[in-house]
Amino acid sequence: MIPQRRWVLEFFLVAVAVGLWAGAPLLAGSAAVLLMLALAAEWMARTSCAALALSYQVGRTAVGLGGTADVWLTMENPAPWPLAAVHFEEAVPEGLQVAPPAPPGLQHLIHGTMVSGALLVGAHERVRYRLTVAGAARGRWQIGPARVWSGDPLGWARFERHSADRAVVTVYPRLYPVPAGLAPATRPQGERRGPPWNPPDPLRMAGIRPYQPGDPPRWIHPHATARTGTLQVKRLDPEGDTAVELVVLAASAPFLWEGIDPARFEALVSAAASMADGHLRAGSAVGLSMVGAVYGAPRGVHLPPARGAHQWARVMTALAWVQPGGGQGHDLAPTLSGLARRLRPGSQVVVLACFHRPGWDAPLRHLVQRRVPVTFVPVGPDAGAPQLAGVRVHPWTPGAGAP
């Protein structure tokens, strides 16, 4: 908390000293009363500013490019006196744009915008200020902390502080139609099954269905049975169900000193997001193994294959939070070797990268020897690709339109 306008107290204190030195009791008494009033005003302003509760709420924590989200800055005054004017300023990063109509106090900065205003907060009152933002660029964007300042009713004292809370909005990557060579197979019956002789996997439950004569007792779901009052059993997926393992190297160049190519990196992220979106919407299980700088995951992202809206959100969030970096220390060989140990029957591996290294040939060859379908997707015209038998190469060309 930063105090301001201390000159008022200093002025009245000097007036009291001058009155006593000049032998003017009226001047000294008046200055003393005003000094006490200024001290009371400063105490009131300090107490009000310190007790004011500031917090952020977000209507939608994740949006697509062009999608909007409402962000509320909430101020709660626990004091028994009102705050006539609580001024605030909050910064909006460049990845988010303030949706029209533009609020008063909007200022355009070099990186992002600044929104300012003033609110009247009554005694024991809670006031909310709403700001609508639209996703302009992929990433994890923070709004705030808000800078708030207030003073006493006379305007003699002023204190300011910053909110400890921030609003976080995730903007998902751009999605393109998947090329025919990478698109998932059609599923006219709604579900893709393995061969009829494949046994069900007891660890992969697809849903609940009523009990039928002949079902093993170990398949009975106790919670669903208790809730419905009739016997319910687990519906299990066969072991041969299709699973797509996406392996992404989040780097645009092999070495750090070669710099960062933002356009190629965004094309890489969009390619991975588009393929994950296409396969998940088709009903396939999708897993993600990503090597790179991801917020909250210093060792990379490793999501096991799964289906549904929850897996879609997890994959898209990981791809939205990844940041471009140099290729130094980024290697897919350990990731591919670890992936080979947890692959299940029916899995296929899709590797997406902006370049190719000879050190990746050994784990790729091992996957081919295990009869795992492997597809290498180079992003960019000069990305390079492995020359291995059994590894299918399908380039992805960066661009604004559908590849």
Helix (H, G, I), strand (E, B) or coil at 403: coil
Q: How confident is the model at residue 204 (pLDDT cuts 50, 70, 90)?
A: low
- The answer, yes or no, to whether residue 3 has pLDDT greater than 60, is no
pLDDT digits (tens, 9 = 90+) for 318-369: 999 998 765 445 678 888 888 877 776 678 899 999 888 888 999 999 888 8
- The answer, yes or no, to whether residue 370 has pLDDT greater than 50, is yes
What pLDDT is stored for residue 272 in this prediction? 94
- The answer, yes or no, to whether residue 111 has pLDDT greater than 90, is no
Q: How confident is the model at residue 274 (pLDDT cuts 50, 70, 90)?
A: very high
> Kindly report the CA angle at 60 between 56 and 66, in degrees rounded to 5?
120
The reply to whether omega before 210 is within 30° of 0 (cis) is no
What pLDDT is stored for residue 347 in this prediction? 83
Q: Which alpha helices (DSSP H) does 121-261 contain, by range?
A: 222-228
More confident of the two residues 34 and 285:
285
What pLDDT is stored for residue 241 in this prediction? 56
Q: How confident is the model at residue 196 (pLDDT cuts 50, 70, 90)?
A: very low
- The answer, yes or no, to whether residue 286 has pLDDT greater than 60, is yes
What pLDDT is stored for residue 273 in this prediction? 95
- pTM for the model stands at 0.76
The DSSP code sequence of 170-209 is EEPPP--PPPTTTSPPP-TTS-----TTSPEEEEEEEEEE
pLDDT digits (tens, 9 = 90+) for 122-146: 888 899 999 999 999 999 999 988 8
The reply to whether omega before 145 is within 30° of 0 (cis) is yes
Mean pLDDT of the 27-37 span: 74
Q: How confident is the model at residue 191 (pLDDT cuts 50, 70, 90)?
A: very low
- The answer, yes or no, to whether residue 148 has pLDDT greater than 90, is no
- The answer, yes or no, to whether residue 154 has pLDDT greater than 70, is no
C-alpha Rg value of the chain to the nearest Å: 31
Helix (H, G, I), strand (E, B) or coil at 343: coil
As a whole number of angstroms, the distance between CA 200 and CA 373 comes to 22
Q: How confident is the model at residue 168 (pLDDT cuts 50, 70, 90)?
A: very high
- Contact predicate 121/82, CB 8 Å: yes
As a whole number of angstroms, the distance between CA 9 and CA 2 comes to 16
pLDDT digits (tens, 9 = 90+) for 206-227: 778 888 888 888 888 888 899 8
What pLDDT is stored for residue 70 in this prediction? 94
